[in-house]
Amino acid sequence: MSLNNYAVENLDDDTEEILPVGKVKYLRGEAFRNDLKLNLGSEVFQGDKVRTEKSSVVKISMVNDSIITVAPQSEMLIEQFISDDENLIHLLKGVMRAKVKKNPTNKENSLIVKSETAALGVRGTDFQFTFNNKNKVSSVLTFEGVVGFKRISSSRFNYSDLDNELSKSNTYEVTRGQFSANNLKTGQINIPTKISATQYHALKRNQDFRKARNKIKKVKIYRSIVPAGAPGKSFESKPKIRIRRNKLKSNKSSEGFYSENDKQFAPAAGGYLDSKTGIYIEPDSKSTYNEDQKIYTPSPDVGRVDPETGEYIPPQNYELTPEGSFKPIKPTSEMRRKRRPPPTLNFLPKNFSREDRLISDNDQAIRENYNTYASDVLNNGSNVLTTIQNEIIQQENQNINNQSNTTQIIINIREQ
């Protein structure tokens, strides 16, 4: 049978056979089709609503060779699947991943996936799409290929409506390693931005939404040698430490961007994407900067990712809420004594472009620490760094005079 019309086939003038559009090829836990329990090999049809329970995953092989995987506690509607190049999936809540085979007609949007707040057009791509029905945030992360992504005002749009909308100039192209999402405060969509490379590779490998087999080990957090409030990007492995104040040259800068003219914006690159809430955790003031990859590496203060699954892990004893704040967990007296104050996340697009945007305007203590550091280290010729360098030079000269092949460096630093 040709794929030109595989939803319905005419048997005679009076009878029509409803044909399946996909089949379950992987199942973990319990999943349902229109409240009917799915089994391995079960067929799905146009108009079906597929739902998963907690810790459950279902993978469906579609008739056009695309693979759709529905994550735990998610729900999607196969709204239209009647041809090989005009198909529509409605993600009602949760997370889904799709590997879409490029169709022979080379149509730009062979598959469109929508939520209540955003839509994406797909040709031949591997991507993950999230919709949180509590905060209305939609986010997409592209593993391979390109997807077109834009905000929509209604989930009632059909395929033709969305195909037309996605062809307009204000649609963003999200490429490999990039994410884009509705901003939690404004609802607008950010310019595609690179996420943490560690998280990207882990999520790409975790095609079946598996959880870590072993309990995540506690990671000891060491105090950063970077003074509080000092931009981590400034600290490089060079003889002299200096603060760099590079002005933004591109609206896709890794340092963040905001335009007063058209209100386009992008957070700093290298942060973590939380699949549950759809929220992007931007790098903090203690982040280090990778010059080769042009992204930041967040400090442990804002959390981390599970290297096996790619799942974002909030700071110890906290959980990330859909409202974008960190909520304490296990509120016992002992935990309260050990708990550190949670980081504050920035969701205001206009703050993304500030040269010193990683230093909070509201934290006067941080700003004072930074100003003291800048005054002592940058403006004064005599400081701890100079003392260290002088002692190294002195000892090297002594070793040369003694014709020794071994260099011994002894540095004494006393607190004043």
Give the pLDDT of residue 336.
61
Q: Of 121-125, 129-133, 377-381, give the range with the top mean pLDDT.
A: 129-133
Q: Where are the domains of the chain?
A: 3-182, 232-378, 381-416
Residue-averaged pLDDT of the chain = 79
Give the pLDDT of residue 249.
35
Give the pLDDT of residue 343.
86
pLDDT digits (tens, 9 = 90+) for 70-106: 999 999 999 999 777 789 999 999 999 999 987 666 6
Comparing 248 with 174, which gets the higher pLDDT? 174
pLDDT digits (tens, 9 = 90+) for 19-75: 899 999 999 999 999 989 999 999 999 999 999 999 999 999 999 889 999 999 999
Give Cα separations from 188 to 76, 162, 253, 364 (angstroms).
23, 17, 19, 30
Collapsing DSSP to helix, strand or coil, 111 comes out as strand
Instruction: Say if residues 178 and 194 touch (Cβ distance below 8 Å).
Output: yes
235 sits in the region (left: phi over 0; alpha: psi -120 to 50; else beta) called beta
Give the pLDDT of residue 383.
56
**Residue of 311, 271, 305, 281 lying closest to 71 (CA atoms):** 311
Alpha helix segments (H runs only) across 145-205 = 159-166, 197-205
Give the pLDDT of residue 78.
96
**Residue of 280, 308, 114, 360 lying closest to 202 (CA atoms):** 308
Reported as a pLDDT band with limits 50, 70 and 90, residue 2 is very low
pTM of the model: 0.75
* Beta strands per DSSP E along 203-277: 257-258, 265-266, 272-273
- Fold category of 3-182 in CATH: Jelly Rolls (2.60.120)
Comparing 277 with 340, which gets the higher pLDDT? 277
Comparing 161 with 227, which gets the higher pLDDT? 161
Give the pLDDT of residue 108.
79
Burial of 122 from C-beta contacts in 10 A (0-12 / 13-18 / 19+): buried
pLDDT digits (tens, 9 = 90+) for 285-322: 888 888 888 889 999 999 999 999 999 999 988 999 99
User: For residue 378, which amino acid is it?
Assistant: L
Give the pLDDT of residue 344.
87
Enumerate the β-bridge partners of residue 305: 312
pLDDT digits (tens, 9 = 90+) for 186-225: 999 999 999 999 999 999 999 999 987 654 455 454 455 5
Collapsing DSSP to helix, strand or coil, 104 comes out as coil
Taking the C-alpha atoms of residue 68 and residue 95, their distance in angstroms, rounded to an integer, is 11
Percent of the chain with pLDDT over 70: 68
Comparing 329 with 152, which gets the higher pLDDT? 152
Taking the C-alpha atoms of residue 351 and residue 360, their distance in angstroms, rounded to an integer, is 10
Instruction: Say if residues 196 and 204 touch (Cβ distance below 8 Å).
Output: no
Taking the C-alpha atoms of residue 339 and residue 328, their distance in angstroms, rounded to an integer, is 9
Alpha helix segments (H runs only) across 147-231 = 159-166, 197-205
